[in-house]
Amino acid sequence: MSYLKPTLVLLITLTTLSLYGQSPETDVQEILQKLDAGEPVENMVINLGDINFQFGTAELEPQATTYLDQVVNLMQKAPNIDLYIQGFADNIGNEDFNKRLSANRAQNVQIYLEQKGVEPDRLISEGFGSRKPVADNSTSEGRAKNRRVEMEVIKPEAVETIQDIIVLTNRQRIGSVVLDYDEEEVRYQQFTNNDTLVVQTEKVDTIYFSDGTLKVFPKPVKEKEKFDFSQWWSDNVPIFKTSESFHRGNFVVGFGIGLDNVDIGFNNNERPLVIPPVMVIAELPVGYNVGAGITAGAMHWGDAQAENILYEYYAISARLAYHFNLGRKVDLYAGVALTGRRISVSNSEVSISRQEVDPGLLLGVRYYLNNTFGFFGEIGDESVAYPRLGLAIKFGN
């Protein structure tokens, strides 16, 4: 039972972190993804809550440079973004001092960004003193969180939208910086990568430029064509396109608990659980929408009639799953698994065990609250128990 404690502590810790909020890297990544999708990002906030200040000072802590370099990268990729840098303090001291101190904190962030090459006219900084606290000022931990800087995305008056928006003939929107276009192709760059991309002009309906101008591409009149089911499927049912929620660069770990006992050939329904069916899942993309990984789990239960008899069950599975494309937040997958099982019955004198290896099927879904944390559920006939629910954690971009 002792090995269960670290697992439960990790589950509780990760759940608490997910409720506390996103990291600055996550905020910046969400802005880049919205820019790619042609969505507005004005008034989105990069919360530098992890950049705390020592009491009574405006000096940035060392980890601040890592966060702020992400902001510099955003400013370089999106030249139409300006930032409103807002500094805050705790409530120790008089308000005049706190306002000056918070202004100095915001100004130090602005100075760092300027030193990294961000144009000064794209930055505005202001201090708000102890107003707008995000935590309880009556505790030292709360005051540390209130000594912070937040950065709000603002749009310059000279532009209509922060990004150029390419609208395709199938009404898909692509947010980008358009580099060039002619009668054959449009060349552009998106915000989450540095590659120059190309789309054929015949597939483009309109380009809305950030300065408010637009370019409409007239389409030649074609004779009425027969219905192309394969093309319709490709345009309207993109579930087999590259998954937006599970792809190269990701690594997913899941911690879960089964909602029912497992059937292992022993009559265990009347026995009280000592440890419920717990499990851990690890999965890594290996190809086009395909992930490979392992599932490991265990459960213990006792004998209702004999206190000294303990039933133990362990399982480990190799799994291979295909992930369908349902957007950035939903990851639906189906696959196969090969599971090794071991059951043992023991008391203080005797131990009896048996092993099995079985193939099986699985179906699961993950829903991500942000780019890192989410929940999952699985059903099937492999591993510890079905159905099962748990916490999913995604690493990488």
pTM: 0.49
DSSP state of 130: T
Shared-domain flag, residues 325 and 268: yes
Structural domain contains residue 292: yes
Q: Which domain holds residue 293?
A: 251-395
Cα gap 389→258, rounded to integer Å: 7
- For 235-265, the pLDDT digits (tens) are 777 888 888 899 888 899 999 988 766 655 5
Shared-domain flag, residues 298 and 279: yes
E strands, 182-250, where?
Answer: 185-189, 196-200, 204-208, 214-216
pLDDT above 50 for 65: yes
Shared-domain flag, residues 132 and 200: no
Cβ-based neighbours of 160, under 8 Å, separated by 6 or more: 208, 209, 210, 211, 212
- For 296-321, the pLDDT digits (tens) are 988 887 766 666 778 888 889 999 99
Mean pLDDT across the stretch 339-352? Answer: 80
Whole-number pLDDT of residue 265 = 55
What total number of domains does the chain contain?
A: 3
Structural domain contains residue 6: no
- Domain end position, chosen among 128, 154, 180: 154
Whole-number pLDDT of residue 348 = 67
- For 189-233, the pLDDT digits (tens) are 999 988 999 999 999 999 999 999 999 998 777 667 778 877 777
Shared-domain flag, residues 189 and 315: no
Shared-domain flag, residues 206 and 276: no
Structural domain contains residue 54: yes
Shared-domain flag, residues 44 and 62: yes
pLDDT above 60 for 21: no
Structural domain contains residue 145: yes
Q: Which CATH number characterizes residue 310's domain?
A: 2.40.160.20
Structural domain contains residue 67: yes
Work out the end-to-end distance of the chain between its first and last CA atoms, rounded to an integer number of angstroms.
Answer: 36
Shared-domain flag, residues 144 and 194: no
Q: Which CATH number characterizes residue 81's domain?
A: 3.30.1330.60
Structural domain contains residue 384: yes
Whole-number pLDDT of residue 5 = 40
